[in-house]
Every structure is written in structure tokens, then in C-alpha cells.
Structure 1
Amino acid sequence: MNSVPLQRLIEGASSAYAASNGIQRTDEWLVLKLNEEVGEFTQAFLALSGQARDKGDTATERTARFRAELADVYGQVLLLAERFDVDLTAEVRRKWRLPAL
């Protein structure tokens, strides 16, 4: 398993989105956007775990939002990996001392 193809797909989608919305995707913007997404993920987690005020969402809606926000965090991590030429699969394997799949 190699994360690079997914990184490149996410990069293309993000680049197109940024171009259509006039966003300059600097290194700093990518890091700050990751922080924004982690914040949104945290809010979704708190709602899912019953630790946030009730907004009237169903359990299904809370679960869907949690999953979507987790995907956003992952996407931003992939964008940073692509920007800095990091194969996340290889790095996770090395860092966590995992065998090859």
C-alpha cells in the first residue's frame, strides 16, 4: 500500500478548489487549515460523545459529521505530505516499526 497516489488525487482536488475560490495555498495556509479541520473534528467528536450542547442532530447525523471531519483531517495531512514529498505509508511503517504489508 502506497499513499502517494491518494496524496496526488487530493492535491488535484484541493488545487482546483483553491483556484476556483481565489485561495493561495501556502505552506502556512496548509498547516493552519489542518488546525481548522482538527478543531471541526473535535467539535464533531464532542457532539458524537454527548459532550457538546444538543443541536438537534440525530445520532446518524452526528456519526456522519464525525466521519466527514475525520476525512477532512486525513485529507489535510495528505496535502501536507504531498507538499513536502512525504510517503506517509512508508513513514508510518518506519515510525511505528511495522512490517511491510
Structure 2
Amino acid sequence: MIESLTQQFEAASQKYADANGFERDADWFLLKLMEEAGELLQMANRSSGRSRSKGMSEEEIALLLADETADLLGHVLLFAHHHQLDLGTAIARKWRFTPA
């Protein structure tokens, strides 16, 4: 499952990079991961009332929180793929279950 999902994110990311003319190097993968983590943090703060809503409804904030979580997940998988990390093995070691 992880590999299949990773390949889908990889294809979408490469298509986006090609369309916008940039190279996805090791720095890019790490910087995008940090960027998305920051965006998730921003939406989590809005969701919890620790930051201003900027006129967004609770429903809009909830949707954006989900979007930013999806972005972060994608970039975690892209980072791991770029660095040839075996997430399945790491999950089994760290979380003590084997992903199905």
C-alpha cells in the first residue's frame, strides 16, 4: 500500500515539476516537507482558535486542515522515496505493526 501511494504522489509531483520547470533535488524534498509542515501548523492553529480565522468558516478551516495534512503526507512519502527509505520496515520497527 505504501509503495503504491508513493508512486502516485511521485507521478503527480514529477508532472508538477515538469510543468513548472524546476528540479526536485534533495534540498527541494526537505524544504517542501518543512513548508508543508508549516502550512499544516498554521491551519491547526486556526482550527484550535490559536490563530485568527481570516474570515474563514469552521468548515473551510476543516477542509484546509485536511488538505494540508494530505500535502504533508505526500511530501513525507516523496522525501522517503527520494532517499530510498524503507518506510514499511521502519513502521514495523518503530510502531510495531506491519502496514498492510
2:88–2:98 CA contact under 8 A, matched in 1: no
User: Would you say the 8 A contact 1:30–1:76 is kept in 2?
Assistant: yes
Give TM-score scaled by structure 2 length.
Answer: 0.92
- Greater relative CO, 1 or 2 (CA 8 Å, sep 6+): 1
Alpha-carbon distance between aligned partners in 1 of 2:69 and 2:38, rounded to the nearest angstrom: 11
In the alignment, which residue of structure 2 is the partner of 1:19?
A: 18
The letter for the 2-side match of 1:33 is K
- Alignment-derived partner of residue 28 in structure 2: 29
Residue 85 of structure 1: aligned partner: 84
State the aligned residue count. 100
Shift of 1:100: 6.3
Structure 1 spans left out of the alignment, 5+ residues: none
- Aligned partner of 1:39 in structure 2 is 38
Percent identity between the aligned chains?
38
Does the 8 Å contact 1:3/1:87 carry over to 2?
A: no
Shift of 1:15: 0.3
TM-score, structure 1 as length reference: 0.91
Structure 1 residue matching 2:96: 3-state secondary structure = coil
Q: Is the 8 A contact 1:4 1:87 kept in 2?
A: no
User: Aligned-pair distance for 1:86?
Assistant: 2.4
**In 1: Cα distance, 2:19 partner to 2:41 partner:** 28
1:10-40 C-alpha deviation (Å, 9 max, x unpaired): 1010001001001110011100010000000
Give, as a single letter, the amino acid of the residue that structure 2 aligns with 1:36.
E
Q: Provide the rounded CA distance (Å) in 2 between the counterparts of 1:10 and 1:87.
A: 16
- Say if 1:41 and 1:70, in contact at 8 Å, map to a contact too: yes
